[in-house]
Structure 1
Amino acid sequence: HICTATSTSEPIRILRERKARLQRPFAIMVRDLQTAEGFACVGDTERELLSSWRRPIVLLKRKSGVSSVIPDKSLNLIAPRLDTIGVMLPYAPAHHLLFKYMDESALVMTSANPSGIPMYVDRERIVKELGDIVDYSLVHDRVIHQRADDSVIKMLSPRDPVFIRRARGYVPEPLMLEGDWKELRLLAVGPEEKATASIHSNNRIYTTQHIGDTNVVESMDFLRNAIDHMLHLLDINELDAIACDLHPEFLSTEFAETLAKKHDASLHRIPHHHAHLAAIVADHEIKYDTRIVCITADGYGYGTDSLGWGGEILVGTMVDSQRKGGLKTQTYSGGDLSARYAVRAVHGILGGVLAERRFLQEFGGARIGESVSLTRETMDILSSSTQDEIGVMKSSSAGRFLDAAAMVLGVCSENSYDAECPMKLEAVARPNTLRIDPFIVSGDYGALLDTTKSLEKLLDLKESGHSIPDLAYTIQYHLGSSLAEIACQVADSEDIGRIGFSGGVALNHIVTQAIRSRVMNHGLEFLIHRNIPPGDGGVSVGQVASAAARECQ
């Protein structure tokens, strides 16, 4: 870890500046549970998790008012404009010694690496390459064979902990798979972002620690090393099948193709969102040929039609699934830039219905690129791009919808880290009874939520004087309840009694609450993840489970 004091805010500010991590939240290590209770709400489940031998980071809700333990200025720098703080207790001898000899109640603890690169484990590299970030280094001469990030858990409700990241303390504990596939030796290499790999052996799925984004060479090396280590632990020398994402350009896909040739193994290209469905089936140890309805909502996944998916209602088994509804597909200018700059998401959803003058009044000056802001001229370029479909991304992404909602409400305009806008939208939200009815229309493959009408309504409600915290809650609840409404209709028509929820948006407690309420009131069973992350960290589980089911057909 890189650590610093919290009793004053200046070291935290310096660390953010040196690490070029201006907004992304840090985790902190506290001396004891009493310290955590001084600034955060610690329920029974959180207390049990924090005190367990696994020692995960648990996101705790900040208490209102002035903190009696850590200065508010420090807390605001630790997790800017968020209502939760990632907290863990000491778990290594060095941690206990630090607190014994330091007059600090809590220490910032962040991974010892530049952003986007796996944590450093080589002593010389730490001293040489982190010298511009840290003032002092405490090192040892023991070889670190495997990196393991801290596991991170969020509470969706007082009784529903869910993994954001599953690593130290939980890996390689297996997940049991329902089926008679003991002889199959399978490997799934995961998606591109927040990747893990998973191995099937003897009806168990063993998942690696969190790897990270595999679009850089060092992360791919980490992935290979973690897979080799897991295969060695399981005494597996040959593989029967390899699974990967459907996206043809991922480095992990190329890696899977190479492995399939090496082992003379079959290769299964699993669609991203089907892997989410298969993951929740595996997570609940449901029989592989059982049909469920699954709401899959995230930022992006390569769809079977080669478009960007991210707000789908799927029906299927662990083997395969079909899309039966979801969010309306929108056209976003700039491709991946639309995932960074929220005004591009707003333009993709509202650009065709909002007059240019009003659009500029609302959003003029917002950044649409590294050094480009929204003006009449740049808006003309965005509009031409979407109309001519040049340099665009077509997507049904729930993540982009939440980005746009955050921008409309003035909560956040840029994702400087993954899901920053949705996280800040969730943080500012205040529960209330204001509701927006679902704007459901018919599409080529089923009922769709017209997100253009949803965002128009949000803008109208804002202009009519409703508070931002109320509207932040209302629009997130609207997204969840609308998806649930479509899913319940599909479940009725398909005679299915279970509805699951997977994908990164399943980490949003407001959306999850809205879906749970609608599904259970409809008399159906609601499934959320329990043992693996709902986001891309659980995709490799779905990939390997789906590959196992396909191999046995």
Structure 2
Amino acid sequence: LTGSRRPVVLLRKRVDTAASDGPPLAAAVAPKSPDLGVMLPYTPLHHLLLGLPGDPPGPRLLVLTSGNLGGEPIVTGEEEALERLAHLADAFLVHDRPVHVPCDDSVVRVCAGEELPVRRSRGYAPLPLTLPVPVRPALAVGGDVKNAFCLGEGRHAWLSAHIGDMDDLATLGAFERAEKHLEDITAVSPGLLVADRHPAYRSARWAERNADGRPLRRVQHHHAHIASVMAEHGLDGSRAVLGVAFDGTGYGDDGAVWGGEFLLADYDGFTRFAHLRYAPLPGGDAAVRHPYRTALAQLWAAGLGWDPDLPCTACCSPTELQVLARQLERGLQCVPTSSMGRLFDAVSSLTGICHRSGYEAQAAMELEAAAAACAEERVPDYDFPLLPADADGVRVADPGPLLAAVVGELRAGVAREVIAGRFHAAVAALVRRTCAAARERHGVETVALSGGVFANAVLSEACVSGLRADGFSVLRHRLVPPGDGGLALGQLMVAARVPRTETISPPPTGSAAH
């Protein structure tokens, strides 16, 4: 918080606010979140606003937000700001220093006593990362959500600042400008491009359009997540790890949406050891925006009824219930998913915490907030069985009994904070049990945790403490985000790594790597 990088630090809200001598905070600031993003002044303008020594007293606290519309790049030009942000702001403080390189604030949190980047941007990017093995000159374009790309050459990688969601022209334009700028300052001329395997990712399509005869390699989403955390811990890939990749969405090799994966992985490839049971995702992104649809689909997959006393049923109109039932029965626009992020969404709606998401991961974050407020010890009271291996040797974790237990406790009047706490404990217990099974079968001793779900401090701390108690070496992110903001580093390591049998010439003297 007080270091020179001055990121936004997520700090737990005080419960005893009456005992604080600080200014009161409006209820509309970070509603339903257990944390507040706190930042100290880092520019001369901030210090002027808050008051320099000898000035009249300034405000003790300011509530800030970034100057952009949701999901779009930050606005840096005065004329553009006056036009695009006019409906958001009553007044503008302008200046005569043009912004040359846009850069969002970095966001970090402390998890189990260590820094965990949530967004790696101002103050951190584009400082180079040292790689455990050399890579060819390459550009990895990352994903489509919370995009950051990565340039690499030799034993150095430069991860870009946060770009944003690649779903509009403004972000694509910001991506192109940032990519050219990073090439200029690093002197890396990528001869290889790397992208996600998702056929519709805009980042991958950008790579296709701009390949210009250069080879383009595709890397599976969750393999890249695990390779990312391996790289930042200096692993050379000579031994496989058990990667636990939990997120909301990632294109699987079978065409399904993956996201609850246990992978035996190195940089060369991976084998799927276990995953969350598939459940339909009715309407795709529509279910992501409406977690009650995900909850109803999970209940349907588990053979549990849509009884009217359940919160996720009560918030859905009778007409939509009819349409949704027919959709699930016929499999219309219902992609199968093993996503742990979607299971968090489902439990959030099932317990009545969040039925509609106004921003990414809102339902899961509010479920985490409820778990953090649980006064009792979080114990894994819910059964979350790991089924025997199928014909391909892959095991499946079945959330059906857990969902049935949640329904029973709701009807028994158990507080949703307690249910949320027990759910988190059950997921952590599943991670421990699955990792133990993988060690027994394959002898793996190192577990790598990655994916956006592990930005959840309640779950991460429970997994880390449990796995270490079981004797595992646990790798988790400390330098790049666990979500898609760190994806490009893993893509680079998988696709551009130089085999041990080859050597590459060092960059010329005077280049950025030196």
Report the TM-score when normalising by structure 1: 0.85
Q: Return the letter of the residue paired with 1:111.
A: S
Q: Find out whether 1:403 has 2:345 as its counterpart.
A: yes
1:299 corresponds in structure 2 to 248
Q: How many Å apart are 1:72 and its aligned residue?
A: 4.7
Q: Find out whether 1:515 has 2:463 as its counterpart.
A: yes
1:210 corresponds in structure 2 to 162
Aligned partner of 2:307 among 348, 358, 365 = 358
Residues 387 and 443 (structure 1), Cα distance of their counterparts in 2 relative to 1, 3 Å cut: farther
Q: Return the letter of the residue paired with 2:233.
A: H
Q: Is the 8 A contact 2:288 2:342 kept in 1?
A: yes
Q: How many Å apart are 1:374 and its aligned residue?
A: 2.8
Q: Return the letter of the residue paired with 1:93.
A: P
| Offset from partner CA, 1:216-273 (integer Å, 9 cap, x none) | 111111111111111101113x32211001011111111111232x2x3221101110
Q: Which piece of structure 1 moves more, 278-287 or 482-491?
A: 482-491
Q: Is the 8 A contact 1:69 1:105 kept in 2?
A: no
Q: How many Å apart are 1:70 and its aligned residue?
A: 5.0
Matches within 5 A, 1:421-436: 421-429=363-371, 430=374, 431-435=376-380, 436=382
Distance in 1 separating the partners of 2:327 and 2:295:
15
Q: Is the 8 A contact 1:307 1:395 kept in 2?
A: yes
2:181 corresponds in structure 1 to 229
Distance in 1 separating the partners of 2:22 and 2:287:
37
Q: Find out whether 1:498 has 2:446 as its counterpart.
A: yes
Q: Find out whether 1:449 has 2:397 as its counterpart.
A: yes
Residues 271 and 305 (structure 1), Cα distance of their counterparts in 2 relative to 1, 3 Å cut: same
Q: How many Å apart are 1:352 and its aligned residue?
A: 4.5
Q: Return the letter of the residue paired with 1:251.
A: R
Aligned partner of 1:250 among 196, 201, 204 = 201
Aligned partner of 1:141 among 87, 96, 107 = 96
Moved segments of 4+, more than 4 Å: 69-73, 352-357, 359-362, 550-553
Residues 428 and 62 (structure 1), Cα distance of their counterparts in 2 relative to 1, 3 Å cut: same
Distance in 1 separating the partners of 2:215 and 2:487:
19
Q: Is the 8 A contact 2:261 2:275 kept in 1?
A: yes
Query: Helix, strand or coil for the counterpart of 2:417?
Result: helix
Q: How many Å apart are 1:518 and its aligned residue?
A: 3.0
Q: Find out whether 1:105 has 2:50 as its counterpart.
A: no
Distance in 1 separating the partners of 2:268 and 2:157:
16
Residues 353 and 481 (structure 1), Cα distance of their counterparts in 2 relative to 1, 3 Å cut: closer
Residues 421 and 70 (structure 1), Cα distance of their counterparts in 2 relative to 1, 3 Å cut: farther
Residues 411 and 240 (structure 1), Cα distance of their counterparts in 2 relative to 1, 3 Å cut: same
Gaps of 5+ in 2: 502-514
Distance in 1 separating the partners of 2:477 and 2:166:
24
Q: Return the letter of the residue paired with 1:274.
A: H
Q: Which piece of structure 1 moves more, 428-437 or 214-223?
A: 428-437
Q: How many Å apart are 1:136 and its aligned residue?
A: 1.5
1:28 corresponds in structure 2 to none
Q: Is the 8 A contact 1:57 1:87 kept in 2?
A: yes
1:132 corresponds in structure 2 to 87
Gaps of 5+ in 1: 1-49, 367-372
| Offset from partner CA, 1:51-84 (integer Å, 9 cap, x none) | 111000001111112253555551x211101121
Distance in 2 separating the partners of 1:189 and 1:433:
40
Distance in 1 separating the partners of 2:341 and 2:288:
8
Q: Find out whether 1:94 has 2:45 as its counterpart.
A: yes
Q: Which piece of structure 1 moves more, 392-401 or 480-489?
A: 480-489
Q: Find out whether 1:338 has 2:290 as its counterpart.
A: no
| Offset from partner CA, 1:346-383 (integer Å, 9 cap, x none) | 111112455656256543341xxxxxx431x3222112
2:34 corresponds in structure 1 to 83
Query: Helix, strand or coil for the counterpart of 2:125?
Result: coil
Q: How many Å apart are 1:180 and its aligned residue?
A: 3.8
Query: Helix, strand or coil for the counterpart of 1:109?
Result: coil
1:40 corresponds in structure 2 to none
Query: Helix, strand or coil for the counterpart of 2:101?
Result: coil
2:510 corresponds in structure 1 to none
1:323 corresponds in structure 2 to 272
Q: Which piece of structure 1 moves more, 426-435 or 524-533?
A: 426-435
Q: How many Å apart are 1:474 and its aligned residue?
A: 0.8
Query: RMSD of the TM alignment (CA)?
Result: 1.8
Q: Find out whether 1:197 has 2:149 as its counterpart.
A: yes
Query: Helix, strand or coil for the counterpart of 2:64?
Result: strand
Query: Helix, strand or coil for the counterpart of 2:71?
Result: coil
Residues 97 and 512 (structure 1), Cα distance of their counterparts in 2 relative to 1, 3 Å cut: same
Q: Is the 8 A contact 2:132 2:236 kept in 1?
A: yes
Q: Find out whether 1:385 has 2:327 as its counterpart.
A: yes
Q: How many Å apart are 1:428 and its aligned residue?
A: 1.6
Q: Return the letter of the residue paired with 2:201.
A: F
Distance in 2 separating the partners of 1:357 and 1:164:
36
Report the TM-score when normalising by structure 2: 0.91
| Offset from partner CA, 1:284-311 (integer Å, 9 cap, x none) | 0111332100000011101111110010
Q: Return the letter of the residue paired with 1:343.
A: Y
Residues 357 and 254 (structure 1), Cα distance of their counterparts in 2 relative to 1, 3 Å cut: closer
Q: Which piece of structure 1 moves more, 416-425 or 437-446?
A: 437-446
Query: Helix, strand or coil for the counterpart of 1:454?
Result: helix
Q: Is the 8 A contact 1:363 1:374 kept in 2?
A: no
Distance in 2 separating the partners of 1:105 and 1:250:
44
Q: Find out whether 1:119 has 2:64 as its counterpart.
A: no
Q: Is the 8 A contact 2:143 2:196 kept in 1?
A: yes
Distance in 2 separating the partners of 1:551 and 1:112:
45
Distance in 2 separating the partners of 1:73 and 1:90:
18
Query: Helix, strand or coil for the counterpart of 2:294?
Result: helix
Distance in 1 separating the partners of 2:97 and 2:24:
38
Q: Return the letter of the residue paired with 2:225.
A: H
Residues 283 and 360 (structure 1), Cα distance of their counterparts in 2 relative to 1, 3 Å cut: same
1:484 corresponds in structure 2 to 432
Distance in 2 separating the partners of 1:143 and 1:72:
35
Query: Helix, strand or coil for the counterpart of 1:323?
Result: strand
Q: Find out whether 1:285 has 2:234 as its counterpart.
A: yes
Identity %: 29
1:374 corresponds in structure 2 to 317
Residues 408 and 357 (structure 1), Cα distance of their counterparts in 2 relative to 1, 3 Å cut: closer
2:218 corresponds in structure 1 to 269
Q: How many Å apart are 1:142 and its aligned residue?
A: 2.4
Query: Helix, strand or coil for the counterpart of 2:181?
Result: helix
Residues 102 and 395 (structure 1), Cα distance of their counterparts in 2 relative to 1, 3 Å cut: farther
1:179 corresponds in structure 2 to 133
Q: Is the 8 A contact 1:497 1:524 kept in 2?
A: yes
Q: Is the 8 A contact 1:333 1:393 kept in 2?
A: yes
2:505 corresponds in structure 1 to none
Q: Return the letter of the residue paired with 1:98.
A: L
Distance in 2 separating the partners of 1:552 and 1:381:
56
2:9 corresponds in structure 1 to 58
Residues 433 and 108 (structure 1), Cα distance of their counterparts in 2 relative to 1, 3 Å cut: closer
RCO higher in 1 or 2 (8 Å CA, sep ≥ 6)? 2
Residues 474 and 257 (structure 1), Cα distance of their counterparts in 2 relative to 1, 3 Å cut: same
